[in-house]
Structure 1
Amino acid sequence: MRRKRRRCSHEADPARCGPRRDPSARPPAGPAALLHGLAAITGLAAPRLIGGLVEDVQNGTTAAKVNQVILVIAVFIVAQSLLTRWARFKSFALGEQVLAELREEFVDNALALPIGTVERAGTGDLLSRTSRDVDTLSRTVRFAVPETMIAFVTVVFTVAATMLVGVWVLVPLLAMTPLLWLSTKWYLRRAKGGYLRENAAYAQMTSSLAETVEGARTVEALQRYDERVRRTDADIRGSYLAERYTLFLRTMYFPVAEISYLVPVVGTLLFGGWLHINGNVSLGAVTTAVLYVNQLIDPVDRLLSWLDELQSGGAAFARLLGISDVQDDRTPSGRAPSGELVEAKDVRFSYVDGRDVLHGVDLTIQPGERVAMVGPSGAGKSTLGRLVAGIHPPRTGSVTVGGVGMTELPLDELRNQVALVTQEHHVFVGTLRDNLSMARPSATDDELMSALAAVDAREWAEALPDGLETRVGSGQLALSPAQAQQLALARLVLADPHTLVLDEATSLIDPRAARHMERSLAAVLEGRTVIAIAHRLYTAHDADRVAVVEDGRISELGSHDELVARQGSYAALWTSWHG
C-alpha cells in the first residue's frame, strides 16, 4: 500500500503551510532543449565551411574569398556562444526549480514517515540522506543533467551532419561502438550497486559518529574509548572499501572509453585519406568529416564524464525516493470517533518479531479520568503509552478512541484527539513565538503567554531580551533542559487535545518545581483525559486510578488508597519511594 501523504491545506491554514508553489511557474524543458539544438547546429557550420575552403584553395581562390569564409565562421562561433549561454541559463534555471521541488517532496515524505520506522533506521541514516544524498543530487540536477543534455543534443546533430558528408564515415564511427558499448555495459552493471553501498556505508559511519558524540559523557564514564574507536575505525574502513570499489570502476572504465572515442578520429583520417587517394571522395569532404568526428570528442567525453555523476546522483535519488515507499503503519477508515472513551483490548506488541513486550493488556480509560502508569524500568509503561497515543499499532488486539482504532485515524485528526509528550523535546531554530505557535498558528500573544503561564514558564519568558520575539535554538539563545520541557508542555496546552499521554514529561525539572508546575497544569487540563507515566509516585497519588505495569502486563489497577491497602507491588513501591 502506498503512503497517503499528510500535506498542508493551504486554503484552511495558509499561515502554517506557507506560500503554495505553482507548478506552472517551473520553466518548461522545451525551450532549453531547442536552444541547445540551435547552438549545436550553429557549431556545425565551421567544419563544413572549412572543408569547402580546403577545396577552394585546392582549386584556386582569392584572398577576399578566404576572408569572407573566415568572417562567416566567426559569426557562427559568436552565435553559438550566445545560444549556448542562453541555453545553459535556461537549463540551470530548470534544474534549480526541479531541485527545489525535490527537496520539498523529500521533506514532505520525511515528515510523513512512521515514527517507528525513523527510530529503527536511526538518526545517522536520515542525516546522511538529508545531507550527503541531497548534496549529491544537487550537483547532479544543477550540473550533470544540463551538461548531459547539452552533450547529447550536440552528439545527435553532429552525427547527423557527419552522415551528410558521406555514408563512408559510418565505417570509422562504428569501429568504436563495440569497445564503448561493452565497457559502458560493464560499468553500468556495477556502478549503481557500488554507489548505493558507498552511501549506505557513509550513513553507517555518520550514525556511529553521531552516537559517540551524543553519548560522549557515557563513553567517558564507562571508559569505552577503545571500543568506540574500534567501531569508528571499522565504519571508516567500510566506507573506504566502498569508495575504493567505485574508484576501481572509474579507473577501469574511463581509460577504455577515452581510447574508444579517439579511434574514429584516426580511422576517419586513414580511411578518408585512402578513399581520396583512390578518387572516391574529395579532400574537402575528408577534411569536413575529420573535423566533425573530432568535434564529437568533446560532447562524448562530457557524456562519459557526467555518466559517473549521474550514477552517483541516481543512487542518491533512489535513497531519497526510498522514503516515499515506506509502508504506512496506519489505515484510515474514514470513521469519526463517537466519543472520548479510550480502550485497549488484549493488546500485544513487539519491537522484534517473536519477542512481545506487552502481553494481552486490557485497559479502559473514561473521559476526563486521570490514570497513572507506574512500574519498574523496562516493564512496558512507555510502550503502552505510545500505543495509546497512536504512535504504533498493536501486533494483536486493539487500541481505540471513541470506538475507532488509533491507527485508523489520519495523523492530523489523531493529534486533535490524543497527544503525547515524552522526555524528549526539541527547540526549533526561530523565535519563541515560532516554537509555540506551531501547535496553533492562529494563537494570539495573550494565548501564547497564558499557555506559558500554565506551565510556570511565563516569568522566564517575559525576562527574555525580546520576549516572544527572542530567537532560540541551535546557535541562538540556549534554553535549559527544564525550559525546553516547559516549552513542549506549553505547546501541548495550545494544541488542546482531549486526551494527553505524559511520558515522564516533567523528568528534567527538579521535584519541587515539577510538583508546582503539575498543579498549575492540572488546572488547565481539568476535564481532560490524562495518562501519566512516571517514576515519581506523587503523580500516582493524585490520579483517579493507578495502573501498575510489570513484565508487559497490568498487574494491579485501582486508586492509590485501594492499592496501598492491598499491600501488593504498588504498596511496596510507595513505601520504598515515600521512605
Structure 2
Amino acid sequence: MPVAGPAEVRTAALRDLAADRRAVVGVVLVNALAAAAGLIGPWLLGRIIDTIQAGSGDVLSAVDRLAFGALLFTVVQTVLSWWALKIGYRFGERTAARVRERFLARTLALPPRVADHLPTGDLIARGSTDASLVAITLRSAVPEVLVAMIHALALIVAVLFLDLRLGLCGLVCLIGVGAAIRWYLRRARPVYLAVAASGADLADVVASTAKGARTVETLGLERRRSQVTETAIAQARFARLAALWLRTVLFPWSEVALALPVVGVLLIGGALYAHELVSLGVVVTATVYLRQLVGPLDTLMLWIEQLQGAGASYARVEGLADIPKEEPQLSPGTVGDRIRVDNAHYSYTGARDVLHGIDLLVQPGERLAIVGTSGAGKSTLARLLAGLDRPHTGSVTIGGTPVADLPPDQLREHVVLITQDHHVFHDTVRDNLLIAKPNATDDELYAALDAVGAVWVNDLPRRLDTELDHDTNLDDASAQQLSLARVVLADPHTLILDEATSLLDPRTARRTEQSLASVLQGRTVIAIAHRLQTAHDADRIAVMEAGELVELGTHDELVRAGRVYGQLWQTWHAESP
C-alpha cells in the first residue's frame, strides 16, 4: 500500500490545522501571554539581587514588592499555561476525530475490486495503530510543542534583550542541540517507516493465520506458519531496535548539549561581572532564563522522537488517498438487466489465466447454477459477474454496460454478490438489517428474516432491538441467514450466491434456498455451490472445469449427456443418504 511523501503529510497537517484555525490562534496567543508572564519572574529576581547589592533606601520593602510581583506573575503564567493546554487538547481531540473520519471515508470509498486486493493486516494497522498514534500526537503533541516552542523563543529573545553578549553566548552553546536534532532527523524517517511497515506485516501474518486456522490445522501447516510468524516478529524487532539505537544516541547527546548554554553564560557572565561590565543581577537573570530553556527544549527533544513515529503513521494514514480509485466511466443511459460474458479471460497475477475464453448469456429472471470441482474458477467468474474484478480481455456487461464500470451505489441496485463470508456488526439486529435498506419498516425486516428461515429472531430477548455482541452472539448459520436477509432487503434484480449457504446444515440450506427462490421469483439468480441439489432446481446449469465453461444446459440435458456434470451427479447421488 502507498505511503504519503513528506510534502503530502505537511499539506495534510496544514489542512487539519486550518480546519480549526481559531483554536490554533487561541493556543498561540495564550501561550505567548503565558511565556511573557514567565519572563517577569527571573527579571524581578535579578532586580532583587541588584537591590540587595546596592543596599540603599528601604531594601526590605523593595524586595518584598519585587518578590510579590514575581509570585503574582508565576501564578498568572500557571493559569495561562493551563488555559492554553485546555484549548490545545480540545483542538487535538477534534482534529484526531477528523483524521479517523477521513480515513474511514476513504476506506469506504474504495471500489470493492480495489479494497479486496489490499493487505488486510496493513489496512487494519493503518486504521487502528497508525490512526491512534496520529490521534494521540495531535491531542498531546500540538499543544505541548506549541507551548515549548513559544516559551523557548521568548526565553531566547529575553536573554538577547537583557544582554546581547550573554544572549549570543547562549545561542552559540545551543549549536550542540541543533547538531543532535539534525543528525537524528536525517536518519529517523526511513527507520520509523520501517517500524510501522513491519508492524503491519506482523498484523497481516497474525490475521491471516487466525482466519485460516482450520486450514492450517487440516493441512498440518503449523510449523510453516510458526516460521512465517517468527520471521515477521524478527523483522519487527530489528526495526524497533534500529529506532531504539537512534534514541540512545539522541537523548544522551541532547542532555549534554542542553547543559552547555547555562555553563557558557556562567563562565562568560562571571568574567564580565569580574570586570564590572555587567551586574550580578543580569548574570543571574540570564542564567535563570537559560536554565528555564532546558525545560521547553527537553520537551521538544522528547516530542521530536515521538513525532517521527507519528509522522510515519501520518504518512501511512494519508497514503490511502494515493490508492488508485479506478473511477468508473459510465456512459449515460439506462442500464438493462441482461448479463453477457464475451470471451472473458482473467488472471490474478498476469502470469497465468485462471479463466479462459468464457462466453455466457444470462437471461433476465433466469436461475442459473454454476458448478464444478474446487479450483474450477466458479468464484472467480462470480466476481467478474458482480463487477468486483474485470477481465483483462473480453467483457462482462449488463445491459451493454461493463459491470465493473458501474458506480457502487448503482451496481448494488443491479447485482449483489453474497459469499460464504459474512459480517455481523456489534449493534442491534435492526441496525444490522437497515444497512441494506435504511427506510425499511419492522414488517419488512421480519419478512426478510422469515424469507431466509431466520426464526431464531423470535427467541432473542428483545427481538429486533437485541444487541448482537459477545453476550448475544450468533453462530455461523444464523449470521449467514442475517446476511441473506440483507440481500432480500436490497432487492437487486440479479443475485449471485457464491456458496452462500455452505455453513448451513443441508436441511436448513435447502429450506433457505427454497425461501430465497420464492422471494426472488422473477429476478435473476446465479447460484454457485457444491451441493448439486441446488443445480437440480435451476433453469440452466453452467459447468466449469480448469477455468473453462465446458457444459451449459438443463439438469436433464446434462445428465443425459453423461459428461462432467453427469458424472458429478451420479457420484453425488450415489453418496447422498
More deviation in 24-33 or 440-449?
Answer: 24-33
1:352-397 per-residue CA deviation (whole Å, 9 max, x = no partner) reads 1212211222222122122111111111110111111111222222
Give the conservation status (yes or no) of the 8 Å contact 1:345–1:363.
Answer: yes
**2:408 matched to which residue of 1?**
411
Aligned pair partner of 2:24 in 23, 29, 37 = 29
Using the size of structure 1 for normalisation, the TM-score is 0.92
Report the secondary structure of 2:549's partner residue. strand
2:559 paired with 1:561: no
Superposed, 1:8-157 pairs within 5 Å as 28-61=23-56, 62-157=59-154
Query: For residues 534 and 137 of structure 1, do their structure 2 counterparts lie closer, same or farther at Cα, with a shift above 3 Å needed?
Result: same
Query: For residues 410 and 176 of structure 1, do their structure 2 counterparts lie closer, same or farther at Cα, with a shift above 3 Å needed?
Result: farther
Q: How large is the Cα RMSD of the aligned pairs? A: 2.0
Give 1:546 deviation, angstroms. 1.6
Query: For residues 72 and 174 of structure 1, do their structure 2 counterparts lie closer, same or farther at Cα, with a shift above 3 Å needed?
Result: closer
Q: Distance in 2 between matches of 1:251 and 1:128?
A: 27
2:467 paired with 1:471: yes
**1:499 matched to which residue of 2?**
494
Report the secondary structure of 2:550's partner residue. strand
Q: Distance in 1 between matches of 2:551 and 2:211?
A: 37
Q: Distance in 2 between matches of 1:88 and 1:333?
A: 51
2:475 paired with 1:480: yes
Give 1:181 deviation, angstroms. 2.6
Give 1:114 deviation, angstroms. 3.9
Give the conservation status (yes or no) of the 8 Å contact 1:95–1:141.
Answer: yes
Aligned amino acid, residue 534 of structure 1: A
More deviation in 102-111 or 208-217?
Answer: 208-217
2:328 paired with 1:326: no
Give the conservation status (yes or no) of the 8 Å contact 1:27–1:93.
Answer: no
Aligned pair partner of 1:545 in 540, 545, 549 = 540
2:456 paired with 1:460: yes
Aligned amino acid, residue 498 of structure 2: D
Identity %: 45
2:346 paired with 1:349: yes
**1:202 matched to which residue of 2?**
199
2:481 paired with 1:523: no
Using the size of structure 2 for normalisation, the TM-score is 0.92
Aligned amino acid, residue 293 of structure 2: L
1:35-84 per-residue CA deviation (whole Å, 9 max, x = no partner) reads 11110110011121112222222222410000000000011001001101
Aligned amino acid, residue 79 of structure 1: V
Q: Distance in 2 between matches of 1:24 and 1:198?
A: 30
Aligned amino acid, residue 531 of structure 2: R
Give 1:112 deviation, angstroms. 2.4
Q: Distance in 2 between matches of 1:252 and 1:164?
A: 34
1:63-108 per-residue CA deviation (whole Å, 9 max, x = no partner) reads 0000000000011001001101111000000000001111111111
Query: For residues 26 and 520 of structure 1, do their structure 2 counterparts lie closer, same or farther at Cα, with a shift above 3 Å needed?
Result: farther
Aligned amino acid, residue 358 of structure 1: L
Give the conservation status (yes or no) of the 8 Å contact 1:337–1:403.
Answer: no
Q: Distance in 2 between matches of 1:114 and 1:339?
A: 22
Aligned pair partner of 2:566 in 546, 558, 571 = 571
Q: Distance in 1 between matches of 2:219 and 2:356?
A: 34
Report the secondary structure of 1:476's partner residue. coil
What count of residue pairs does the alignment treat as equivalent?
Answer: 556
Report the secondary structure of 1:359's partner residue. strand
Aligned amino acid, residue 36 of structure 1: N
**1:16 matched to which residue of 2?**
none
Q: Distance in 1 between matches of 2:19 and 2:171?
A: 43
Aligned amino acid, residue 461 of structure 2: P
Aligned amino acid, residue 274 of structure 1: A
Query: For residues 470 and 554 of structure 1, do their structure 2 counterparts lie closer, same or farther at Cα, with a shift above 3 Å needed?
Result: same
Q: Distance in 2 between matches of 1:24 and 1:272?
A: 47
Give 1:465 deviation, angstroms. 1.7
